[in-house]
Structure 1
């Protein structure tokens, strides 16, 4: 193809790619909203006294309390004055990192979501819940800093549906996370654990608490392979052929258990929580756990 033909074809190809990307946004946002709606949650209060709209408690009035703070109706039922306190509901920032490496595109069954698809759905549904609770949500990437409001949900959906990266395995980002914020890292964490360790250390140094959420396909836990098998990475950079795949099962499962144990220890050292989710399991249960885990990370 000559240079002129290539130049004319590029805008058409770019437009097709853009249209295909845009077509996924309404479906992903709708699915995330539906998932969020299936999770019944209570109020996301801070359980501290301060500025807010929700009533928290009555307390006896002190000498320095202004008369306008007295709840006269409640005080009329007792021999002392009471002040009506509201619950502190200041918004916090939550950063999401969803691994977009090639390994996340794997699924052991065409009828089952790929790991990356499940991670993106959970991340966006979690964002729906957090935004409804008045939090600011963004990515652990400078392209989408934490913000509140409905428009932010569309920004996140657009960012999360970018084309997958070219690397086999991803590494979490922590450089754009605000000090004192919270974060969720979603990945299969099949890459170098040293990258996870460095990101968690950086986050901990800045007072960031959060969750390491490992997402695996069920076949990655069961290793149901036997006989002649060719194992190839999703990016095609690594390939291994064996005639006796069953002989590798025990060694593989042992190394997987060791990796999980290390991730658990790294999370513990940073004051984070760690859990593993399988893409064949309930997305609702996963979302409920994630939301609860973030509350514990407050």
Structure 2
């Protein structure tokens, strides 16, 4: 979306295919990775995760011995210090699999004068920051349809490397590797037809996984401040549309955007997923903290919602 009376920057004009020039992406990823790590450090500093007692190798805490427990649980060395019996507990360790995807299609290259970053760069920072945070906790991380899920302290670097070699960006990735009890994080503007998003969501649900949708929008896409003669361009198709009184479209635009977002929220609600909206003029730490919290909460649950939450496969949820 571009208005002649609004000074905006479209990196789409600099390179017709946002990932056609792999060198451009490869050059931007190191800087984005540094930013992502800084944000991840901010979140990690105040985050205590989902630590608890359970099977594992790392010491957790001493607690008083309860009558009826097996005597072999008693830590006799600690108990010898005073007149009480204590049990040594270990920290619960259970690696979780999180699949991630960031929409890098042409529409994500948009940046208006109201923001310092494009939707694409912000989505990448959120995803790389999340990869770094999860890797510190020992979780398995993978790019949906692109890499295997592995537990690696350098997961963020591996994700960035894999992204730099993508030949064709897709908004909705392949989910054939997604397994039961895993989580799938989709970050993008999510402006695709709701029928496509619903169909993709059903495949994730059928695999027994949970989803987390993050809609990243430029603030100008919310306010629609255009007025007078304005030319709009579709970065996906190259279609151009000129209107003499752009302000007359504002009410209908807001209604359509609200309806689409309502359909997204309904999709997430029926599936038992999470959904959040982020604007690029806001700090990236906000969605990162929200995602990390939601992933920790979901990891505590026993089983995901059933695919039947969507109803018949032929019936899409909502409408755009």
TM-score w.r.t. the length of structure 2 is 0.78
Q: Do the aligned partners of 2:54 and 2:90 also contact (CA within 8 Å) in 1?
A: yes
Q: CA separation in 2, counterparts of 1:172 and 1:259?
A: 20
Match of 1:11 in 2: none
Q: Do the aligned partners of 1:166 and 1:235 also contact (CA within 8 Å) in 2?
A: no
Q: Secondary structure at the match of 1:293?
A: helix
Q: CA separation in 2, counterparts of 1:287 and 1:74?
A: 40
Q: CA separation in 1, counterparts of 2:167 and 2:217?
A: 17
Q: CA separation in 2, counterparts of 1:85 and 1:200?
A: 40
Q: Do the aligned partners of 1:218 and 1:279 also contact (CA within 8 Å) in 2?
A: yes
Q: CA separation in 2, counterparts of 1:172 and 1:194?
A: 15
Match of 2:316 in 1: none
Query: What does 1:36-185 correspond to in 2, within 5 Å?
Result: 36-39=40-43, 40-45=45-50, 47=52, 49-55=54-60, 58=63, 60=65, 65=70, 67=72, 69-72=73-76, 75=79, 77=82, 81-109=85-113, 112-141=116-145, 143-162=146-165, 165=168, 170-185=171-186
Residues 99-121 of structure 1: CA distance to partner in whole angstroms, max 9, x if unpaired? 11111111112862110110001
Q: CA separation in 2, counterparts of 1:18 and 1:106?
A: 18
For structure 1, the residue ranges without an aligned partner over 5 or more in a row are 1-16
Backbone CA RMSD of aligned residues:
2.6
Q: Do the aligned partners of 2:115 and 2:218 also contact (CA within 8 Å) in 1?
A: no
Give the helix-richer structure, 1 or 2. 1
Q: Do the aligned partners of 1:102 and 1:165 also contact (CA within 8 Å) in 2?
A: no
Cα pair distance change 1:147/1:51, threshold 3 Å? same
- Aligned residues, how many? 278
Q: Do the aligned partners of 1:214 and 1:276 also contact (CA within 8 Å) in 2?
A: yes
Shift of 1:86: 1.8
For structure 2, the residue ranges without an aligned partner over 5 or more in a row are 1-20, 300-320
Determine which structure has greater relative contact order: mean sequence separation of CA pairs < 8 Å that are 6+ residues apart, divided by chain length. Answer: 2
Compare 53-62 and 275-284 and name the one that shifted more: 53-62
Q: CA separation in 2, counterparts of 1:140 and 1:279?
A: 24
Compare 273-282 and 283-292 and name the one that shifted more: 283-292
Q: CA separation in 2, counterparts of 1:204 and 1:118?
A: 27
TM-score w.r.t. the length of structure 1 is 0.83
Shift of 1:286: 2.1
Cα pair distance change 1:166/1:156, threshold 3 Å? closer
Q: CA separation in 1, counterparts of 2:116 and 2:281?
A: 7
Q: CA separation in 1, counterparts of 2:41 and 2:113?
A: 27
Residues 34-59 of structure 1: CA distance to partner in whole angstroms, max 9, x if unpaired? 12112223332353522241415636
Q: Secondary structure at the match of 1:113?
A: coil
Match of 1:214 in 2: 215
Cα pair distance change 1:137/1:238, threshold 3 Å? same
